C-alpha cells in the first residue's frame, strides 16, 4: 500500500488531498494544528512530531500557509509593511516548510520514486509580478521556492528517484481565500486536490526542483 503524509490535513486543500488519497486506497497520515497541535512555527513541535513518524512515505504534501496574521491583511503598499507581521508570515510560509524539509531524507524511500510537494503560490513568482503589493506573502513564497529548489538538489544526491517541487494550487474555495476570491476564478477544494494529485502522478524525475501550477505548467521564478 502506498503511504502519504499530509501536513496541514485539516485545512481546505490538505483535507481534500487526504480524502482523495484515502479514497484511492492510500495509507494516509495527517498532521495539523487543529487536530494534533502541530505548529510549523515551533521547531521543537515539528521535530517531535516528525521524529515520531514511521516511514517511508511515497508522497509528502505540505499544505500550510497564511496570507497575513489574523489581525492584519496583505499589504497594499510599502507604507503598510510591519516588521512583526512580516516575520509571522515568513515563520509559517517559509521557515515552517523548511523545518519540515529537514526531516525529508529520513521520511522518503531511497529505493523507489517518491514525491515531496510543498504548496506555494503564483504570486511568489518574481518574474510574474506585474502589480506589486502583498509584500510579505509574495516574499515568503519566493523564499519558500528557493528552499524547495535547494532541497531538491540535496535530496537528489541521496534519494535518486525523489521529486521535490513547489506547487501552485490555483485559487481554491477555502477560508484562506474567502476575502479575496472575488478577483479570481475559484475551484472547490476537492477539484483542486484532484488537479494537484494528477500533476504529482505525472511528474518525471527531471522535473524535481521546479515550480508548477495545478495544470502541470512550469511557473517562472
Asked if 98 and 147 touch (Cβ cutoff 8 Å), the reply is yes
Q: Are 83 and 28 in contact (CB under 8 A)?
A: no
Question: Torsion angle of alpha carbons 61, 162, 147, 39, nearest 10°?
Answer: 30
CA distance 18 to 6: 6
Q: What is the pLDDT of residues 124-162, one digit of tens each?
A: 999 999 999 999 999 999 999 999 999 999 999 999 999
The per-residue pLDDT for range 182-204, each reduced to its tens digit, is: 566 788 999 999 999 999 999 99
Does the global pTM surpass 0.85? yes
- The more confident residue out of 193 and 1 is 193
The stretch 89-100 carries a mean pLDDT of: 98
Amino acid at each position: 500500500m502506498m503511504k502519504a503524509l499530509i501536513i496541514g490535513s485539516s485545512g481546505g486543500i490538505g483535507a481534500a488531498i487526504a480524502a482523495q488519497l484515502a479514497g484511492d486506497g492510500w495509507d494516509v497520515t495527517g498532521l495539523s494544528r487543529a487536530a494534533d497541535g502541530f505548529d510549523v512555527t515551533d521547531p521543537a513541535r515539528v521535530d517531535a512530531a516528525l521524529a515520531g513518524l514511521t516511514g517511508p512515505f511515497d508522497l509528502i504534501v505540505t499544505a500550510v500557509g497564511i496570507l497575513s496574521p489574523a489581525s492584519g491583511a496583505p499589504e497594499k503598499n510599502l507604507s503598510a509593511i510591519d516588521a512583526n507581521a512580516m516575520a509571522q508570515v515568513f515563520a509559517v510560509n517559509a521557515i515552517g516548510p523548511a523545518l519540515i524539509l529537514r526531516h525529508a531524507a529520513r521520511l522518503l524511500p531511497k529505493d523507489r520514486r517518491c514525491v515531496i510537494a510543498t504548496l506555494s503560490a503564483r504570486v511568489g513568482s518574481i518574474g510574474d509580478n506585474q502589480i506589486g503589493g502583498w509584500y510579505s506573502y509574495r516574499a515568503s513564497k519566493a523564499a519558500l521556492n528557493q528552499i524547495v529548489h535547494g532541497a531538491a538538489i540535496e535530496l537528489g544526491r541521496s534519494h535518486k528517484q525523489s521529486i521535490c517541487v513547489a506547487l501552485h494550487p490555483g485559487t481554491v474555495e477555502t477560508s484562506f481565500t474567502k476575502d479575496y476570491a472575488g478577483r479570481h476564478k475559484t475551484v472547490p477544494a476537492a477539484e483542486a486536490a484532484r488537479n494537484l494529485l494528477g500533476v504529482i502522478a505525472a511528474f518525471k524525475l527531471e522535473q524535481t526542483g521546479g515550480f508548477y501550477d495545478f495544470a502541470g505548467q512550469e511557473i517562472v521564478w
